[in-house]
Amino acid sequence: MNKLLFRSATLIHPESKFHNQVVDLLILDGKIEDIAQTIDVNGDDLEIINAEGCFISTGFFDLNANFGEPGNETCEDLISGTQTAVAGGFTGIALQPATEPPVHSKAGVSYILNRTSSYLTDVYPLGCISYNRAGKDLAELYDMKLAGAIAFTDGTSPINDSGLMSRALLYVKGFGGLIFSYPEDTSIAGKGKMNEGIVSTYLGMKGIPNLAEEVSISRDLYLAEYNESKIHFSTISCAGSVELIRKAKEKGIQVTCDVAVHHLVLTDEALSGFDTQYKVRPPLRTQNDVDALIAGLKDGTIDAIVSQHTPHEIEFKDVEFEIASFGIIGLQTALPLALKAGLSPALIVEKMAINPRQILHLPIPGFEKGDEVNLVLFNPEEEWTFEASTNKSKSANSPFINHKLKGKVLAVCNKKQFYYQQ
């Protein structure tokens, strides 16, 4: 990327004087050379992209992405994972520590940072809360923070020990750390495979009730309030959870939360055919929950939208529903699904680009002259088919494979690198 002109794009950036305006954006050597309603420039080395009808914003940032490396590179390695992220419009990701071995020491954090330092997408490792994600002893939180861990989580392994969670919240407070809580009381969830409700009863499947999530959120809110510490809830899925967090925010508790994008468009009725591609954790809930999640996004209760990208090899999904693994790939489908949920481009940018960085206290890339370029260009109306030829992931565990989707990422720029797809 040397000299590049985006022509007639609608800019979404609340801090810019050109917010919600159609602009031309000139980029030279990875920096913004000029931004105006019209830029008159030419030259043999100039590449012009017609962005009429498209939106341009700070690149998306995902708070919840899972790759396999180290240990499970066959499902997704750091190279394929970040290439998938770029194709989805993400210039930054917070990488879950659920690898083999888990990222529970400064060595694991340093490995990821060193391996990904030159990639277009910025990768921020999340460190484990507990050693080996076992939920018994605190991991090397401060050492990992010094090495570059952006926050701490055990992924989808809930911290069931209330004392351990309380100590983690108190400990990270001393150095400005942040705990990501995956809210699930496993003693209530048991061996459930889907949402507990009418559909699970009809199918004869063990269900995971909303109560498992809501009890866990209630406990952690009390612990965060007691320790006067910040807490972030990952992938909430229930109407009751939205209400609990809404009241906690009104009370002044330092809480943020996110929702997985597939929970905005799918319900447990999708499991009627026992299709393992719809098997996720937390499980798909009811339409009432979906409506509450969307309302929570619009009123500010839910701060961010995540992909919860969870790749699996075919042998972990092409099996009986009971033993199939939880999770779907989601980096490339995040934008189309958010649009399908009825969210506006401005709200999508807020929840997928601005707020995730604010939660992690990262700077928000801007659009002033001289700024380093960090952007995504997308067309909310363009249709494309998510299939083998367009899937950048090593895995294909998605219910949206071979489906036509509306909303396409056209270009991504970051760290003087440029990605463009017709």
Q: Structural domain tally of the chain?
A: 2
Structure tokens at 373: 């370029």
* Helices and strands in the chain: count of H runs, count of E runs: 12, 18
Instruction: Find the helix or strand (DSSP H, E) in which 337 lies.
Output: helix 334-340
> Domain check: are 270 and 406 in the same one?
no
3-state SS string over 31-84? Answer: EEEEEECCCCCCCCCEEEEECCCCEEECCEEEEEECCCCCCCCCCCCHHHHHHH
pLDDT band at 328 (very low <50, low <70, confident <90, very high): very high
pLDDT band at 420 (very low <50, low <70, confident <90, very high): very high
pLDDT of residue 41: 87
Looking up residue 156, the CATH number of its domain turns out to be 3.20.20.140
pLDDT of residue 1: 56
pLDDT of residue 422: 74
> Domain check: are 263 and 396 in the same one?
no
Of 332, 359, 386, the position where a domain reaches its end is 359
> Domain check: are 390 and 334 in the same one?
no
> Domain check: are 328 and 402 in the same one?
no
Looking up residue 36, the CATH number of its domain turns out to be 2.30.40.10
Burial per residue of 279-311, b for 16 or more beta-carbon CB atoms within 10 angstroms, e otherwise: bbbbbbbbeebbebbbebbeeebbbbbbbbbbb
pLDDT over 90 at 421, yes or no? no
**Number of Cβ within a 10 Å radius of residue 160:** 14
> Domain check: are 306 and 165 in the same one?
yes
> Domain check: are 149 and 32 in the same one?
no
* CA 110 from centre of chain: 22
- Under a CB-based contact definition with an 8 Å cutoff, are residues 412 and 84 in contact? no
Average of per-residue pLDDT values in the chain: 97
pLDDT over 60 at 349, yes or no? yes
* pLDDT digit string, tens, across residues 190-210: 999 999 999 999 999 999 999
Of 359, 380, 400, the position where a domain reaches its end is 359
Q: Crossing angle, helix 239-251 and helix 287-299, to 10 degrees?
A: 30
* pLDDT digit string, tens, across residues 10-67: 999 999 999 999 999 999 999 999 999 999 988 778 999 999 999 999 999 999 999 9
* pLDDT digit string, tens, across residues 385-407: 999 999 999 999 999 999 999 99
Q: Which residue in 353, 332, 347, 343 sits closest to 409, CA to CA? A: 332
Residue type present at position 178: L
Instruction: Find the helix or strand (DSSP H, E) in which 12 lies.
Output: strand 3-12
* Domain limits for position 212: 61-359
Instruction: Find the helix or strand (DSSP H, E) in which 142 lies.
Output: helix 141-147
Of 313, 329, 359, the position where a domain reaches its end is 359
pLDDT of residue 338: 98
> Domain check: are 347 and 378 in the same one?
no
> Domain check: are 217 and 307 in the same one?
yes
pLDDT over 90 at 2, yes or no? no
> Domain check: are 190 and 337 in the same one?
yes
> Domain check: are 273 and 255 in the same one?
yes
* pLDDT digit string, tens, across residues 222-273: 999 999 999 999 999 999 999 999 999 999 999 999 999 999 999 999 999 9
> Domain check: are 197 and 219 in the same one?
yes
Phi, psi at residue 368, to the nearest 5°? -100, 155
Give the Cα separation of 149 and 127 in Å (integer): 6
> Domain check: are 224 and 242 in the same one?
yes
pLDDT of residue 181: 98
Task: Enter the pTM of the model.
Answer: 0.97
Structure tokens at 61: 């940032």
**Rounded alpha-carbon distances, angstroms, from residue 22 to 5, 37, 51, 108:** 14, 6, 10, 44
Give the Cα separation of 307 and 338 in Å (integer): 10
- How large is the average pLDDT for residues 1-11? 90
* pLDDT digit string, tens, across residues 270-293: 999 999 999 999 999 999 999 999
